[in-house]
Amino acid sequence: MTATTLTKPASIDLAGLDEEIRRHLHYTLGYHERDVSPRYVCRATALAVRDRLVGSWQQTRDAIRETDQRRVYYLSLEFLIGRSLSNAIQNIDLDGPAREALHQYGLSLEEVAEKEHDAGLGNGGLGRLAACFLDSCANLKLPVVGYGIRYEYGMFHQHIENGRQVEDPDHWLRDGNPWEMERPDEAQNVHFYGYTEHYRDDEGTPRCRWAGSHDVVAVPYDMPIPGYRNKTVNTLRLWKAAATDAFDLEEFNSGSYPEAVASKNMAEQISMVLYPNDASENGKELRLKQQYFLVSASLQDIVKDWVEKHGDDFTDFGKKNCFQLNDTHPACAVAELMRILLDQYQMEWKQAWEITTQCMAYTNHTLLPEALERWSVSLFSRLLPRLLDIIYEINHRFLVEVSKKWPGDVARQRRMSLVEEGENPHIRMAHLAIVGSFSVNGVAGLHTELLKSGLFQDFYELWPEKFNNKTNGVTQRRWLAHCNPGLRDLLNETIGDGWQTDLSQIEKLRPFAEDAAFRKRWAEVKLQNKRRLIDYVRQTTGIEFQEAALFDVQVKRIHEYKRQLLNLLHVLNLYDRIQRGDTAGMVPRCVLIGGKAAPGYHVAKMIVNLINNVASVINADEKANDLLKLVFLPNYRVSAMEVICPATELSEQISTAGKEASGTGNMKFMMNGALTIGTLDGANIEIREQAGDENFFLFGLDAAEVSETKKAYDPNKIIAGDEEIQRIMAMIEGGRFDAGCPGTFNILTAGLRNPYDPWLTIADLRDYIDTQRKVDAAYKDQESWNRMSILNTANSGWFSSDRTIQQYADEIWQAKPLG
C-alpha cells in the first residue's frame, strides 16, 4: 500500500538526499550501483537520514549539558524500539524526498523500510512503553536521556514447528546498526566480586572501599531519538560490556595466552542476550550482573558529568537530576548512588541519603507476586559485596523508622524489611526501590489503587505522599500516523494535523461519527488496512483471511493471566455451533492470535501448541471456513503490530481482573478504531470511561468479584451446568487436537478445572460467550459499528504517551522543556 502525503511538502534540504544515498552506498558501504538490493539501499538511506539528524543531535546534547533545569534519566533494562528509518523520515519531514530518491532505484519507501531489522531489545509492554516514552520526551523537548543495554541478541525469533514454538537467536546487529554511534572515550569501569575493605583516610576517618574486584568495561553506544519536526534529537545510550585491558594479565604472562583471550568472553557475556521472561522473576546470576552493569555505568557517567561542571559540590545534585526506574530491574541504583557518594566522594550517610531519595523515582509494572524480584543474599554478597553492606545499612535505619511509627509491631517490620528472612534470605528489590525513592507510581488507575490497598499497603500507610498514578500511553506518531497512513490522511483532511503533537485534538472527530459520507470513507480506510493484513497473514502462514469477516485480534505475550485460552474456548464454541448448524446471528470471523511464550514457561508453550492445533483443524474444514478462520501469527513484534492494529476491528483485552497492570496494546487498537471486548482490568477501565459504555463490550468479574469468587470456586460445577461449555471441554479432552498424542493438553484442561485456578477462566466463560454474541449483533449493523469505531478513535486522546510524559514531567520530575 502506498501512502500519499497530504501534509505540506518537505522543507529541509530537499535536494541532495538521492546524492547522499548514492554516496553512502558507494563510499561507506562499498557497493556498486549495479548490485543494489533493497537491503543495501535501506542501510544507505538510514545513514543519509542519520546525517541529517547529527546537527540537531549535537545541539540538543549541548542544550541538555548546559541547561540549569532538572535532567531526567530513564533507566530501563528494555527498550523495544522496533524499526527507526520510517519513524525518523516522518519526524524530520523527509517523506517526499525519500520517496523520490528511492524511486530512482525502482523501490518504494515501504519496500526499503521493511528491510530494517527490528531493534527487539525488550519483551513486551514494559519495553515498548520505554520506547514510546523516549519519543514523547523528544516531542516535548524534555531533557531526558534513556539508559539501557546494547544486547547483542534481542528478543528471540519465534517460529512454529508441528504446532509448537521454536526459538531462534535474534542477531539483529549482524548487518551493522546504522543508527548507533560508539563512544569509546566515554567508557566506564564496573566492579564485580571482591570484598569490602575498611580503612582510615588522611584525616583518620573510617572509610570503606570495594577492593579486589574483577572489572568490566562498559562502552556506550548512542542512538538518536528524533522529536517530531522540532529540531530536538534526544539520546538513548546503550552499554556494551567488554573486557578491561588489564583482564587477567597474569594469565597472559604465564603462557596461557589462548585461555586468557577466551576468558575475555566472560566480560562480554554480560551484554550478550536479553532475558526473554516477561513479568516473571529470574534468579540467574547473569541477570543481576546485567542490572548492576547498567546501573553502575549509567550513574558513573552522570556523576562524572556533574563533577566536570560542579566539582565535588553535590549540594544541588538531587534537585537537578532525576532517575526514573522502569520497574525494579534497575533498583540497585539506590545503593549504587549511595556507594559513589560515600566511598568516592567521602560524603556523610545523612547527606548522601538525602540526595539519593531526592532523585530516585520508581515505577511499578506488576501485581503478580511471582514477578517481584528477589535476589539471594548469598549471590548478592559474592557478586556485589559493597552494595550489600549499603543495603543492610539502609534497611537498619529504615526499620528504626518503622518501629518508631508502629512500636512493637514485629510482624510489620518483618513484612516491610528489605531482607526476606528464612533459611535462604533474599533482598526484596521492590522494597529497596520504594524506600530509596521520593515517588512510587503505578501505570493505570486501578493498578495504583490495588498497589496502595494490597502489595504495598504498609508502605502506603507510612508514606502516602510517595504514591501516585501515571496511566500509560502510546505515541500516536508511530501507532497512528506512521502505521496507518490512510487514516492519518483522512484525519488530517478532516480535523487538521494538530493531533499528531496534541492528541486531545482528536476529539474534533466526534461529530463526524454522525456523518454517513464520512463513515463510508472511514470504512474504506479500514478495508484497505484489512487487505494489507490479509497479505501479511498469507505470506507468513499461507492462510487466506476474508475481507468481509470481522477481524478479531489478540496479540501480546502468551501468559496465563492474559487468558489466550479464554479466547480459544470461544473459538471452539463457534466451531461447535457451526458443526451443529446453530449459526443464526453468527458473523464471519477471522481470529488472529499472536505472541511469544517465555522459553522456560511450559504452560504458555502448551497454549501456543493448542492454538496452532485447533487452527489446523478449523482451517482444514472447508464447511466451517465461510464463517470461521483461526491463525496463530508467528513472531509477533513491533513491526508486525504496525500492520495488525490498523486492520483490527475487535481488540481482545480479556485478562483476569486485577492482574494486568495497564496494557498498552489496548490503546493502540482503540486509536486505530477497533472496539474492545474486555474485562474491568488495567487501563481497560479508563478506555471504557473515555469511549463510553455503549462503545465497549464489557464482560466478566471485576477485581473485587475475583477475590470473592476465589473463596468458593467450583469450575467443574459450572462446566456441568452449561451444555455449551461441556461440549467445548469435551472437544479438547476427547483428543481432537492431540495430533496423535493423547493427554498432551491435560495440563491445560486440568488447570481450567482446578478450583484453585488463579485465572478463573471458566468463571468468565459464559459471560464472554454471551458478550461475543452481542459483538456479532453489533457487527451486523455496519453503520452503527463504524459509528462506534469512529468514537473510539475520537475518544483516544487520553492515551497518548505525550499526556503521560507531561504528567511525569509536571508531577514527578519537575522538568521543563529545553528552550
Residues of the shown chain interacting with ligand PLP in the complex, contacts defined by CB under 6 A: 124-125, 128, 556-557, 637-638, 641, 663-665, 668
Smaller CB separation from ligand PLP, 442 or 665 = 665
Cα dihedral sign, 255-259-261-264: negative
Q: For residue 9, what is its C-alpha cell?
A: 511538502
Q: d(Cα 757, Cα 747) in Å, to the nearest integer?
A: 12
Nearest distance from residue 318's CB to ligand PLP, in Å?
33
Taking only Cα atoms into account, the Rg of the chain, rounded to an integer number of angstroms, comes to 27
What does DSSP say about strands 79-82 and 157-161: parallel, antiparallel, or unpaired? unpaired
Cβ-based neighbours of 50, under 8 Å, separated by 6 or more: 88, 178, 179, 224
The pair phi, psi for residue 413, each rounded to 5°, is -60, -40
Q: Is 556 a catalytic residue?
A: yes
DSSP string, 418-470: SEE-SSS-EEEHHHHHHHH-SEEEESSHHHHHHHHHTTTHHHHHH-GGGEEE-
Smaller CB separation from ligand PLP, 428 or 477 = 477
Give, as one character, the DSSP assignment of residue 213.
P
Q: Are the C-beta atoms of residues 1 and 528 closer than 8 Å to each other?
A: yes
Neighbouring CB atoms inside 10 A of 14's CB total: 12
Q: d(Cα 49, Cα 569) in Å, to the nearest integer?
A: 48
Q: Is 466 a catalytic residue?
A: no
Give, as one character, the DSSP assignment of residue 273.
B
Cβ-based neighbours of 378, under 8 Å, separated by 6 or more: 424
Nearest distance from residue 46's CB to ligand PLP, in Å?
21
Q: Is 26 a catalytic residue?
A: no
Nearest to 737 by CA among 612, 640, 628: 612
Query: Distances in Å between the alpha carbon of 773 and those of 15, 339, 764, 766, 767?
Result: 56, 60, 15, 11, 10
Helix 761-780 vs helix 746-753: crossing angle, to nearest 10: 100
Q: Which helix (H) or strand (E) holds 266?
A: helix 257-268
Q: Are the C-beta atoms of residues 675 and 792 closer than 8 Å to each other?
A: yes
Smaller CB separation from ligand PLP, 222 or 802 = 802
- List 60, 363, 664, 676, catalytic entry: 664
The pair phi, psi for residue 715, each rounded to 5°, is -60, -35
Q: Is 540 a catalytic residue?
A: no
Nearest distance from residue 663's CB to ligand PLP, in Å?
4
Residue 367, Cβ density class (10 Å: 0-12 exposed, 13-18 middle, ≥19 buried): buried
Nearest distance from residue 668's CB to ligand PLP, in Å?
6
Q: Is 365 a catalytic residue?
A: yes
What does DSSP say about strands 360-363 and 419-420: parallel, antiparallel, or unpaired? unpaired
Nearest distance from residue 616's CB to ligand PLP, in Å?
25
* Residues recorded for the chain: 819
Nearest distance from residue 111's CB to ligand PLP, in Å?
22
- List 83, 589, 605, 668, catalytic entry: 668
Contacts of the segment 15-23: beta carbons below 8 A, 24+ positions apart: 15/97, 17/48, 17/94, 17/97, 17/98, 17/100, 17/101, 18/97, 18/100, 18/101, 18/104, 20/47, 20/48, 20/51, 21/45, 21/48, 21/101, 21/102, 23/48
Q: d(Cα 202, Cα 199) in Å, to the nearest integer?
A: 10
Q: Which helix (H) or strand (E) holds 401?
A: helix 385-405
Q: Is 71 a catalytic residue?
A: no
Nearest distance from residue 533's CB to ligand PLP, in Å?
15
Query: Distances in Å between the alpha carbon of 657 and those of 36, 118, 278, 348, 770?
Result: 53, 32, 19, 47, 18
Q: Are the C-beta atoms of residues 20 and 51 closer than 8 Å to each other?
A: yes
Nearest distance from residue 85's CB to ligand PLP, in Å?
17
- The secondary structure of the chain in percent helix, strand, coil, rounded to multiples of 5, reads 50, 15, 30
Cα dihedral sign, 69-55-324-561: positive
Residue 547, Cβ density class (10 Å: 0-12 exposed, 13-18 middle, ≥19 buried): middle
- List 320, 556, 688, 787, catalytic entry: 556
Burial 463-490 (b: 16+ CB within 10 A, else e): beebbebbbbbbbbbbbbbbbbbbbbbb
Query: Distances in Å between the alpha carbon of 577 and those of 54, 469, 568, 723, 737?
Result: 60, 44, 14, 12, 17
Residues labelled catalytic: 365, 556-557, 562, 664, 668
